[in-house]
Structure 1
Amino acid sequence: MSAQPVHGGTPDHPKVPRTIGGISGALRGSRRAQFFAELLEAHQGTELDGVLNAWWGRAMLDTDPDRDRIRAAAEAGTLPTTTMEQILRRRQERTAQ
C-alpha cells in the first residue's frame, strides 16, 4: 500500500521540504513562532527529530488548499468518515479486479 499526495509533491520531493526552512515557510501566522520556540528548546537528536516531524505534519496541513473547509466540517461534525473495515473491503475489491 502506498500513500499518494493529494495536492502536489512526490515522496522524493514533498510539497513541504522536511527542513527547518521548508517547515517554517509553510506554517501560517503564529504557528511559525510556536515552531521556532519548540525548535530552540529541543536537544539535538531524537527530541529535535520529534519536533521537526510533528511540525512537518502541521506544515503539510497548512499548505492544503481545502484546510479551512475540512477543519470547519470536522468541528461541525459533518466531515465524512469511514471505518477501517470499509477501507479494507474497498482495497480487497480493487485487488480482486
Structure 2
Amino acid sequence: MTAQPIHEHEPERVPRNAEGIAAALSGAQRMEFYRELLAARPEQARGVLLRWWGEAMLDTDPEADARADAVLAGTVSTVSVDELVARRRAAGLPVD
C-alpha cells in the first residue's frame, strides 16, 4: 500500500523555488521573503524557502475561506502527531 496526497496539485499551484514562491506572494510579503532569503546563511536557506512556500500555498488556496469556516465551526478533522509521523514513515517521508 502506498500513501497518496489528499490533494494533488498538478502542476503545483506554487512551484517549490524562489521564483515560484515570490510570484505567489503579495508585494509586501514578496519583499519580506526576499529579505529573509538574502539574509539567510546557506544552511538556513532551505528553511526559509519551505516556510514561505507554505505561506504561498495557504495564500493561494482556492478553498481557504471554506477551510477557515470549518475550523471556526469545529468541524475540521484532526490527526494526532503520532499518527502523522506514522503516516510519513509508512510513505517513506522524512519525519525530522
TM-score in terms of structure 1 length: 0.62
Is 2:77 the partner of 1:64? Answer: no
Greater C-alpha Rg: 1
Gaps of 5+ in 1: 89-97
Pairwise CA RMSD:
3.0
Q: How many residues get paired? A: 83
DSSP 3-state at the match of 1:70 = helix
In the alignment, the residues of structure 1 paired with residue 13 and residue 20 of structure 2 have an alpha-carbon distance, to the nearest angstrom, of 9
Greater RCO structure (CA 8 Å; 6+ sep) = 2
Equivalence for 2:44: 47
- Percent of residue pairs bearing the same amino acid type: 36
Is 2:3 the partner of 1:2? Answer: yes
Gaps of 5+ in 2: 87-96
Equivalence for 1:21: 19
Q: Specify the code of the residue in structure 1 equivalent to 2:28.
A: S
